[in-house]
Amino acid sequence: MPQIVQGGQPLVRNASAVATELIRQAILDGGLSPGERLKEEELAQRLGISRTPVREALLILQTEGLVEAAPNRGATVRAHDADDLDDLYQLRALLEGHAARQAALRATDEAIAALWASCDRFSNVANEDDVRAIVQENLFFHHAVLEASGSARLDAMVRKVIELPLVYKSYIWYSPRQREISVHYHRQITHALEMRDAERAEWVMKEHVFEARDLLVAHVRELEDRA
């Protein structure tokens, strides 16, 4: 995890926000694994800041669902079993499907152009082995659809169910063919938005989410069976 410095000194201003973002990124990148303990002192040393902003960051991440706290154990990266992930994906499909429907009615031409550009970038990185780049572009696309929906409430609700699968490094398990399928879904969603076809946009988004669910849940169940 990188240390944030400014002028040769650790960044103090808005330190809790910095700590929150860095710890979140470490969780999503796989640097901190599900079930791993998050020790305030150790994190503070790695970030080059005091324990107070780290403590505040862990509380924020707890409300986001990425961190959980238990008596006599402290904070840990939240772990989910296959049934829990399946339930989260059911919720994600409903929320993102609705967001896509609203985006088809509200998206500006500029927003649609940005989505087409994202599709091109996603297609390029999908052919590479840079999982982090794939994750980042995928997040950009889904957040762009949420923004185009015009609902700040939806954006806040969906963030949790979009980011959680990343904790399980789901894209590592994607074959080249499965990455191609993701690219295809992104293009089909964007086309539906461009055509202002709200019904199709919702349907394709749901199919896209369920396709990802099937892959992740199957792998998590396999890991559970081995345990």
List the domains of the chain with CATH numbers. 5-77 (1.10.10.10), 82-226 (1.20.120.530)
Q: pLDDT value at position 186? A: 98
Backbone angles phi and psi of 76, in degrees to 5: -140, 160
Bridge partners, residue 75, by sequence? 69
Give how far Cα 57 sits from Cα of 49, 63, 105, 218, Å: 12, 10, 37, 32
What is the Cα–Cα distance from 141 to 138, expressed in whole angstroms?
Answer: 5
Give the type of residue at 201: A
The token duo for 5 is 């410095």
Q: pLDDT value at position 170? A: 66
Counting as low any pLDDT under 70, the low residues of the chain are 1-13, 29-30, 160, 163-172, 227
Give how far Cα 109 sits from Cα of 71, 102, 120, 165, Å: 51, 15, 17, 30
Q: pLDDT value at position 165? A: 62
The token duo for 172 is 């590592």
What is the Cα–Cα distance from 106 to 34, expressed in whole angstroms?
Answer: 37
Q: DSSP label at 38?
A: -
Give the type of residue at 12: V
End-to-end alpha carbon distance in the chain: 29
The token duo for 138 is 């995928």
